[in-house]
Amino acid sequence: MFNVNANGASIPAIGFGTFRIPGTDVLRMVPAALKVGYRHIDTAQIYGNEAEVGEAMASSGVARGDIFLTTKVWVDRYPHDPFINSVDESLKKLKTDYVDLLLLHWPQSNVPLAERIAALNEVRDAGKVRHIGVSNFNTALMAEAAALSPAPIATNQVEYHPYLDQSAVLGSARKHGMSITAYYAMADGKVIDDPVIKEIAKVHGRSPAQVVLRWLVQQDSVVALSKTVSEERARSNFEIFDFELSTEEMQALHNLARSAGRIVSPGHLAPQWD
């Protein structure tokens, strides 16, 4: 395991994601992931499982200070007072007095970005949040957020897998000192049966999932999220730090990108993608 350093944040390169994981499975999987060695847990207000994440962390035996915890403010809480109240609610559910990283979940909103960025800075200045970030922002919005924020933006959490070229977003992130946190790394399971990925996996004696996660974290300034309700897969997905992909193998995965590669793009929430 290593950390990705971005604008003052030291983020474990692989995180355990909890999107669409029911509370009962969260209670089982978060302690299991922490036992394997994960030290980065990702949740969100809209996931509806912050309380279970908090309970699981508290009962895991791993010290709170050893866990990098991310949550996200949902779009209906973007006005100032609901925003501040929502953070307090999240902290109560998560059984903690701070989160390591707080993100704006999606960019589309009638609330001006300046107001949202100011609220992020307010909760950071109050000690409720150690680092701030965004999610699903395009390059123009990343630049705008960076210009508006007194505190540095630590990450932009976006869909990223071999079928989606995110070079523009990566370039913008590096320019502003940010990291990219990749979600949907398995492309809804499509990578598992990809012949190019399977061949590289065979060479290394690894699974296709391990190859894709390794491809992500081997890139500069990229953090990968892994989500599963299988304890065995959680362990396997964590075991990506004892091998490397060659330059040619890295490029072979990049070459899988296609114009229709994006999977997640809700029209009422998404920006104009790069």
Give the pLDDT score at 247: 98
Q: Do residues 177 and 6 touch, judged by C-beta distance below 8 A?
A: yes
How far apart CA 141 and CA 16 sit, in angstroms, is 26
Give the pLDDT score at 142: 98
pLDDT digits (tens, 9 = 90+) for 144-194: 999 999 999 999 999 999 999 999 999 999 999 999 999 999 999 999 999
How high does pLDDT run on average in the chain?
98
pLDDT digits (tens, 9 = 90+) for 61-119: 999 999 999 999 999 999 999 999 999 999 999 999 999 999 999 999 999 999 999 99
- HSE-CB for 116 with a 13 A CA cutoff: 28
pLDDT digits (tens, 9 = 90+) for 189-243: 999 999 999 999 999 999 999 999 999 999 999 999 999 999 999 999 999 999 9
Domain ranges across the chain: 3-188+220-230
Confidence of residue 272 (pLDDT cuts 50, 70, 90): very high
Token pair 């909103």 is at which residue? 109
The answer to whether the annotation marks 268 as part of a ligand binding site is: no
**Helices and strands (H, E) in the chain, number of each type:** 10, 10
Task: Judge whether 38 counts as a catalytic residue.
Answer: no
* 3-state SS, residue 54: helix
How far apart CA 207 and CA 193 sit, in angstroms, is 10
Give the pLDDT score at 242: 97
Which CATH class for the 3-188+220-230 domain?
Answer: alpha beta
Identify the active-site residue in 38, 47, 78, 160: 47
Q: Do residues 225 and 42 touch, judged by C-beta distance below 8 A?
A: yes
How far apart CA 139 and CA 137 sit, in angstroms, is 7
